[in-house]
Amino acid sequence: MGLNDTPAADRVHIGFFGRRNAGKSSLVNAVTGQELAVVSEIKGTTTDPVHKAMELPPVGPVLIIDTPGFDDEAGALGEKRVRQARKVLNKTDLAVLVVDAAVGLAGADEELLAIFKAKGVNHLVVFNKSDLLPSSPAEGPGEIYVSAARGDGIRELKERLAALAAVEEPEMKIVGDLLRPADIVVLVTPIDQAAPKGRLILPQQQTIRDILDRNAVAIVVQESDLPETLARLGKKPALVITDSQAFAEVAAATPQDIPLTSFSILFIRHKGDLRLAVAGAKTIDTLRDGDTVLISEGCTHHRQCEDIGTVKLPRWIRAHTGKNIEFAFSSGTEFPGDLSPYRLVIHCGGCMLNNREMQFRQAAAVSAKVPITNYGVAIAFMKGILRRSVAMFPQIARELD
């Protein structure tokens, strides 16, 4: 990904749903002007969700998702396809329900509409294959008739999608709302084996951009250079932000009168509920022998020998609690549907997930009555610096009293 590319997590996620052979893939191709999805007269051609990041005028940067038929045939494979379609809904900002105009709404369509409404997902019902109708029917609210084959109504459909995207609430800033113009922010970014060569990891890139958008100043250093950097600055920085793995070392090197937090803490505030993560971290002190902790990452990557999720966090938790804790792991889209086996969920910062999916995962834990926190909050808690790390959010800090 280039530095100027919009990350998938920051794109409007548009999911195309519907029954088999309603023309979802044909409509995706017509809307995007590309052959993104395989088109066939055979029902169930789309077996797995197809994702494509692109620029879609007039919407802007989007992630288009074509899903399997929601009415797939009985059996293990059909059930898996339907589960995949449901999973896509957890990260969908705009849902397009594609209906065969000649057939009309059926039970599976009504079920999808109910799910859209229950999840609060903006949606549009698109009656495809309108060229096969004897006349043009009247469109109801939230409906549009199109023909993917002839291109009828495709321009209007894109304009309707743009209008729906425009009503999405603005995202909370990563850090910009905490700053004033000309403030100095020091970013501590350890460079180790896991760091991608020639570039910064995504949370660091996005945080720097947010600082610059606020007309503030970003200074990037490694943890070993932090003391000298702070000593040489002409004025006290407004904030020090560190990679969570270096929390203890950075806290020791940063004077108490300088606010300190981590990328991971900022990102859970940005994408989800920081208060929930702080409350969940307290569960670490109540873990008992035999409890299982789920450590979940929103992306997949090559594991290093000192991987934070699978190696460092389990080691730190066992050392902190003195208990024989069991660990389970998930990554990418494979977030467990059943969280009941776990005493605690510790999630990554979620930089690769959009806000809706991060909030879904937190809500799933709340529904299952399983505490959930994240890497940065959990590490700060175990290092005894959580209060300091959330001090710039007084309402949340008070909950630690």
80 has a pLDDT exceeding 80: no
Give one word for 253, left, alpha or beta, with left for phi > 0 and alpha for psi -120 to 50.
alpha
Fold of the CATH domain 176-266: Rossmann fold (3.40.50)
What average pLDDT does the chain have?
A: 87
Backbone angles phi, psi at 188, to 5 degrees: -100, 115
Kindly state the average pLDDT of the residues 225-250.
Answer: 94
Alpha-carbon distance of 82 to 60, in angstroms, equals 29
Q: Write the DSSP assignment of 310-327 as a string of letters.
A: IIIHHHHHHHHH-S--EE
42 has a pLDDT exceeding 50: no
Partner residues linked to 126 by β-bridges: 98, 144
Please give the model's pTM, rounded to 2 decimal places. 0.81
Higher-confidence residue: 2 or 83?
83
338 has a pLDDT exceeding 90: yes
Q: Among 59-63, 139-143, 378-382, name the most confident range.
A: 378-382
pLDDT tens, position by position, 167-214: 555 566 899 999 999 999 999 998 755 555 656 788 899 999 999 999
Amino acid found at 395: Q
Cα angle 311-312-317, degrees, rounded to a multiple of 5 = 110
What integer pLDDT is reported at residue 399 of this predicted model?
82
Kindly state the average pLDDT of the residues 237-263.
Answer: 96
- Confidence category of residue 50, pLDDT binned at 50, 70, 90: confident
Partner residues linked to 97 by β-bridges: 17, 125
Q: Which of 46-55, 255-264, 274-283 has the lowest mean pLDDT?
A: 46-55
What long-range pairs does 239-242 form, CB within 8 A, spacing at least 24? 239/175, 239/178, 239/179, 239/183, 239/185, 239/186, 239/392, 240/185, 240/186, 240/188, 241/175, 241/185, 241/186, 241/187, 241/188, 241/207, 241/266, 242/187, 242/188
**Topology agreement, domain 176-266 and domain 273-386:** yes
pLDDT tens, position by position, 90-109: 899 999 999 999 999 998 89
Residue 171: other Cβ atoms inside 10 A: 11
What integer pLDDT is reported at residue 3 of this predicted model?
40
Architecture (CATH level 2) of domain 8-166:
3-Layer(aba) Sandwich (3.40)
Q: Are strands 184-188 and 217-221 parallel, antiparallel or unpaired?
A: parallel
Q: What is the CATH number of domain 273-386?
A: 3.40.50.11410
- Confidence category of residue 48, pLDDT binned at 50, 70, 90: low
**Where exactly are the structural domains of the chain?**
8-166, 176-266, 273-386
For residue 272, give the DSSP letter: S
pLDDT tens, position by position, 206-237: 999 999 999 999 999 999 999 999 999 989 99
302 has a pLDDT exceeding 60: no
Kindly state the average pLDDT of the residues 265-280.
Answer: 95
What integer pLDDT is reported at residue 170 of this predicted model?
52
Higher-confidence residue: 92 or 76?
92
Specify the DSSP element, H or E, that contains 296.
strand 292-296
What integer pLDDT is reported at residue 186 of this predicted model?
98
For the chain, percent of residues with pLDDT exceeding 90? 63
Kindly state the average pLDDT of the residues 5-22.
Answer: 86
Kindly state the average pLDDT of the residues 237-251.
Answer: 95
